[in-house]
Structure 1
Amino acid sequence: MAPSKPIVDYSLYLVTGRELLPAGKDYYESLEESLQGGVSLVQIREKIAETGEFLEIARRSKEICHKYNVPILINDRIDIALAMGADGVHIGQTDMPIAVARSLLPANAIIGMTCNTPEHVRQAVKDGADYVGVGPAWTTQTKKNLNAIVGVRGLGDMLRELDGTEVKAVAIGGIKSTNALHCLHGSVSVTGHALDGLAIVSDIVGSPEPKLAAGKLASVVRAFKAHSPSSFSLPGAQYAPESIKAQVGSLVSAVRKHSPLVHQITNTVVTNQSANATLALGASPIMASSAKEMEDLSKVTGGLLVNFGTIQDLDGMLAAGRFANVNRRPIVFDPVGVGATRYRQTSADTLLNTWQATVIKGNAGELSAIAKSTEVQSKGVDSIGQGFADPVTFVAQLARKERCIIVLTGVQDYVSDGYTVVRCSNGHKLLGDITGSGCMVGTSVATFCAAESLEAATGGNPSVAHDGLLVKGDMLVAAVAGVLALTVASEFAAAREDVFGSGTFLPALIDELGALTPEKLSKAANVEVFRPELA
């Protein structure tokens, strides 16, 4: 009877790289400290060492790893693995085929393979791999001739190939403590298949304190695994119209209670009215776009709005989002006119592959461009045609794909976390007659997301304050609140006797945002709830 394979915890997978060690740091000392910090699997990678040196390193590393009951794998070299009795090997796409490696190694050996495409994953499963390393998630300096960057958003397509199998998966490429949670959250497939762990090199090996570095990463993975993958909403919640309206009303008070500082990188056309809308709702705006300010700002702001109606400082947007993720602040992305030019399209992809958006808000043309769909076309910042034939299914599918809340604006607005869709049917036609009303919706959503996040973090909503969340709080309800605040206020504004057209409507709209109460908003809100069945 063949011996059984060792039980492997893939959570924190260390790939060694002696060339990355800090000056004066001993390799074996670093390895043992990393194991003490929580490393659960080790791969010995030596690309330039002679065979004798590699064998000695592998043997001594095995002694240390097995002292902590951690399996040890060898990169590429089947001969080294056999000579020192490794627990398995990791091979690349151009290395020895899995079938040959399996025939040479003991029956209980672990075999993993690097995969850069869904086709690679499909073949690895067919060939009998025990796990796959999927990526690269980001750029990395630890490999030459690296394959094209897959991006966190691309990992989900590969994980979907593992549905119904026992094959495990770890993400590889450029992962560190500052982006680990983003990687775990953003890579979950549309079918809910999540990573089993993260493969780390420089963030641990290059640290002068590898125990602390490993411990920080291990805690991130543990926290994420303890929380079922969702998209910024309350896990398992059965949302109903009346409960949503009640929660929306309570958030009006939460905004004024916390008065969050809302960082807005927005277009020059709407800066003034967006700032005034923020103030009217009871929050504080700060408009800043320089990358040099972003680290400091992210520590004091409640939320971030990135609106690239007039793209001027892409570096600032990239930095703002990265630091917002690090500090777990909600990010609302408003890709204004994204379908108008190739530059806007590539910029949106760059932003969404660099940081995890909490909410993506746009009209039909903009969201169609984000989804790489041709169903709805755009002309500048406007959509052309009648919109989506099935907006409920569209927003749910896009929310699952992008791992965030989707807000589709139009005559009726649709908000989804991928499982629940809320249709909001408020608003007035005068909103379409003023410049930047859609941008003001983004401002309102960012304001309510910031307030909800602060409410959860301070104990007001403890059920959505789990440490494994990229952002604390129920962002589905917060996004609905942001949409309704603007659209309901527009109805009150249009009904005023002092409003005669678009010129008098805008200041009245600001007035009515300031006059909103929980009772007025929840009573006037017109919402319906759908739970689409997706394949």
Structure 2
Amino acid sequence: MKQHDIDLSLYLVTGRNLLPHGKSYLTSLEEALRGGVTVVQVREKGADTAEFVEIAKETIALCSRYNIPVLINDRIDIALASGAAGVHLGQTDMPLVLARQLLPPSAIVGVSCTTLEHARKAVEDGADYVGLGAVYATSTKDVSAPGRVCGIAGTCAMLSVLEGTGVKAVAIGGIKSTNLLRTLHGCASPTGHALDGVAVVSDIMTSPEPETAARRLAQTFRAWMALASHGPTGFLVTSEQLAQYTQEGISAAAAALVDTVRRVRPLVHHITNNVVKTQSANVTLALGGSPIMAEAEAEQADLARAPGGLLINIGTVDALDGMLAAGRHANQNGKPVVFDPVGVGATAFRRATAAKLLDTWQPAVIKGNAAEIGALADLNEVKSQGVDSLGGFKDAPDVVRSLARKHRCIVVLSGPTDYLSDGSTVIRLSNGHELLGQITGGGCILGTAIATFCGATSMTAPGTSEGVLVKGDMLLATAAATLALTIAAQHAASREGVRGQGTFLPALIDELAMLTPEAVLRTARIEVETD
């Protein structure tokens, strides 16, 4: 097998010490091969040389029956003695250039990378593939040293280094069936350069049914790859949906979704700012959804199974464990996550919290004001005062488009004009009223509206969820939610008796409850820009 033909999609790293009681190594391995493992790396940190050679030969003899290549972890001598297809080298092992001199020309050589410098050096030295990670914390290897867990963001950065080089990449570290879709979706460069595979250890090696475990992983990977080309965010968008990205199409979709929300009554789960819980619940009810406020970590697995949407708002960070668990379980169940990074640029704690959340789960939508979006985009163009934004961007469309590509989700920049992007299309919405920005939680209730509409969209989207992190068009859902709130704000502000913030808020809730599809069609102010 030539190195460029190697299928890295399900890369098994062995670990005999992880086998369940009563399960032999070769039996477990053969079952995993039947389940869909495409390459095997033999890792034996505790075996002496003679034992390692014997294990390698037995592994190669078994894998050859399935036409699966075998690589050896670290040991060039073992690879040569056993006739393995190649080696995988760590950063403290023999240099790749020297390994090439000792191995046959056809040998496959991979390198572990945890930093951009590692990735650049691997490309320069001629690696066939790289293992990027650890993506998540793992018990199968010591990753306690600073920088050893590079997360989703670090993996994306390293993938950018590989673009155009022909060097393949697998992610490794804590990857299992429950986070595989999140890993595949999140681990891509801003231009969409994706993983060629995932390396798995414990999810297969500890399983009493390794064939089932491997098959679950392999099927998820294949299903994802079949859909991976749909849109820069990686969410499934059909050609019919793309055709709706016009002023008329967005307006019509938004009008239809107003009725859809009321018909399906999505459960909208809030982990949100203590200041706005009542407003958020009332807005959800007025739109036609069903609100629940639940922060305890122990509740998140059960709540994530209920169809609908999830809003995570860090205006008050009292339940970080609950936020982490809620987003993780939502991803596992195909439930859209709307992230509102309230005041993220105001303190180091909020920045660290946002980074940790975004490294744990995949948002469908990120919504923020100019200061919050600027902080996530590492821009100093807009300053904040507490949770409020002072000013706006000179080129807002480029900012939202770039951030959407970076985080592979829909990004909403709220303000006098609202900007939405999926990384390609940018939608400008110019409805609203200044009073919406003058009430407590005006931005927070936009997050509520988005979670409500995204939840309803995911519930009514056709087709199977296999290989799809979130079903439904999140860009159209987000545009519809923004229009619903801002058009209702216009109506509320023009009501007789509305004299300021105190009279505006109840009027706004009334207008949300009375909003009609016809009003959306008649009032929506939409501009569309396609990259």
**TM-score grouping bracket, smaller chain normalisation:** over 0.9
Q: Equivalent of 2:368, from 334, 356, 362?
A: 362
Q: Deviations over 1:299-353 (max 9, x none)?
A: 1141100011111111111110110011110000111111111111111111110
* Cα distance between partner residues in 2 of 1:342 and 1:12: 38
SS in 2 for 1:263: strand
Q: Equivalent of 2:379, from 357, 373, 377?
A: 373
By how many angstroms is 1:466 displaced?
A: 5.5
By how many angstroms is 1:500 displaced?
A: 2.1
Q: Is the 8 A contact 2:433 2:489 kept in 1?
A: yes
Q: Is the 8 A contact 1:6 1:108 kept in 2?
A: no
Q: 1:438 matched to which residue of 2?
A: 443
TM-score (norm 2): 0.96
How does 1:380-529 map onto structure 2 within 5 Å?
A: 380-384=386-390, 386-456=391-461, 459=462, 462=463, 467-529=466-528
In the alignment, does 2:94 pair up with 1:89?
Answer: no
By how many angstroms is 1:363 displaced?
A: 0.2
Q: Is the 8 A contact 2:31 2:211 kept in 1?
A: yes
SS in 1 for 2:498: coil
How does 1:200-349 map onto structure 2 within 5 Å?
A: 200-229=200-229, 230=231, 231=233, 232=235, 234=237, 237-238=242-243, 239-349=245-355
SS in 2 for 1:42: strand
Q: Is the 8 A contact 1:38 1:218 kept in 2?
A: yes
By how many angstroms is 1:192 displaced?
A: 1.2
Q: Is the 8 A contact 1:227 1:466 kept in 2?
A: no
- Residue identity in the other structure for 1:124: A
By how many angstroms is 1:279 displaced?
A: 0.6
Q: Equivalent of 1:101, from 96, 99, 102?
A: 99
Identity over the aligned pairs, expressed in percent? 58
TM-score (norm 1): 0.96
By how many angstroms is 1:467 displaced?
A: 2.4
* Cα distance between partner residues in 2 of 1:408 and 1:149: 31
Q: Deviations over 1:134-183 (max 9, x none)?
A: 11111111112555211112211111111112111000111111111111
* Cα distance between partner residues in 1 of 2:327 and 2:427: 26
Note the aligned Cα RMSD (angstroms). Answer: 1.3
Q: Equivalent of 1:135, from 133, 136, 139?
A: 133
Q: 2:39 matched to which residue of 1?
A: 41
By how many angstroms is 1:94 displaced?
A: 1.3
- Residue identity in the other structure for 1:234: V
Q: Which runs of 4+ in 1 moved over 6 A?
A: none
Q: Is the 8 A contact 1:113 1:131 kept in 2?
A: yes
- Residue identity in the other structure for 1:271: K
Structure 2 gap ranges (5+): none
Aligned residues: 523
* Cα distance between partner residues in 2 of 1:447 and 1:126: 49
Q: Is the 8 A contact 1:228 1:235 kept in 2?
A: no
By how many angstroms is 1:83 displaced?
A: 0.7
- Residue identity in the other structure for 1:115: C
- Residue identity in the other structure for 1:201: V
Note closer, same or farther for the CA distance 1:6–1:253 as it changes in structure 2 (3 Å cut).
same
Q: Deviations over 1:431-456 (max 9, x none)?
A: 12211111110000000000110111
SS in 2 for 1:170: strand
By how many angstroms is 1:233 displaced?
A: 5.8
Structure 1 gap ranges (5+): none
* Cα distance between partner residues in 1 of 2:501 and 2:76: 74
* Cα distance between partner residues in 1 of 2:404 and 2:143: 34
- Residue identity in the other structure for 2:88: H
* Cα distance between partner residues in 2 of 1:487 and 1:82: 68
SS in 1 for 2:310: strand
